[in-house]
Amino acid sequence: MRIGELADRVGTTTRTLRYYESRGLLPARRDGNGYRTYGEDDVRLLQQIRTLQDFGFDLEETRPFVECLRSGHPAGDSCPASVAVYRRKVGELDALIGELTAVRAQVGAQLARAEEAMAGLAADADAAGAPAPRCELGEASDVSEARG
């Protein structure tokens, strides 16, 4: 198959495929007329790259998986180098989850303090017989006039 058909089959652009070729991830085979030609192995290779990128792997991290497929393994993740990349990525994800959990706890604590403060202000205003303070920006027309 030619480059346009391959791009259509894997849901990408010919430009992307040429880029992968320039990076050594996609083999450059040409027919007698000089046209790039591809086979089903290339479809599987590109599907592997796309799946890994969907999972957050950068293009260079896909290289061991590509090399594993090229060496004849039916799955690109059945080689030691691929497993090593998986391990690194799981470590990165665990670290991100830890960071996000800490940030979520901080934001949750700030929210609880803010809600408590709002409730206190409303209770104070109610006890004094005054309306609760408003913490909103002016009406939309006031905001647009200020920008204008």
C-alpha span between 28 and 15 (Å, rounded): 14
Handedness of CA 76, 26, 13, 10 (dihedral sign): negative
Residues with Cβ within 8 Å of 138's Cβ and at least 6 positions away in sequence, in order, are: 146
Question: What local confidence, expressed as pLDDT, does residue 119 receive?
Answer: 84
Q: Strand, helix or coil at 36?
A: strand
Q: Strand, helix or coil at 13?
A: coil
pLDDT in tens, 112-146: 999 888 888 777 777 777 666 666 665 555 555 55
C-alpha span between 51 and 44 (Å, rounded): 10
pTM of the model: 0.68
**Structure letter (DSSP) for residue 35:** -
Least confident of 14-18, 71-75, 104-108: 71-75
pLDDT in tens, 61-99: 999 999 998 888 888 888 999 999 999 999 999 999 999
Question: What local confidence, expressed as pLDDT, does residue 68 receive?
Answer: 92
Confidence of residue 4 (pLDDT cuts 50, 70, 90): very high
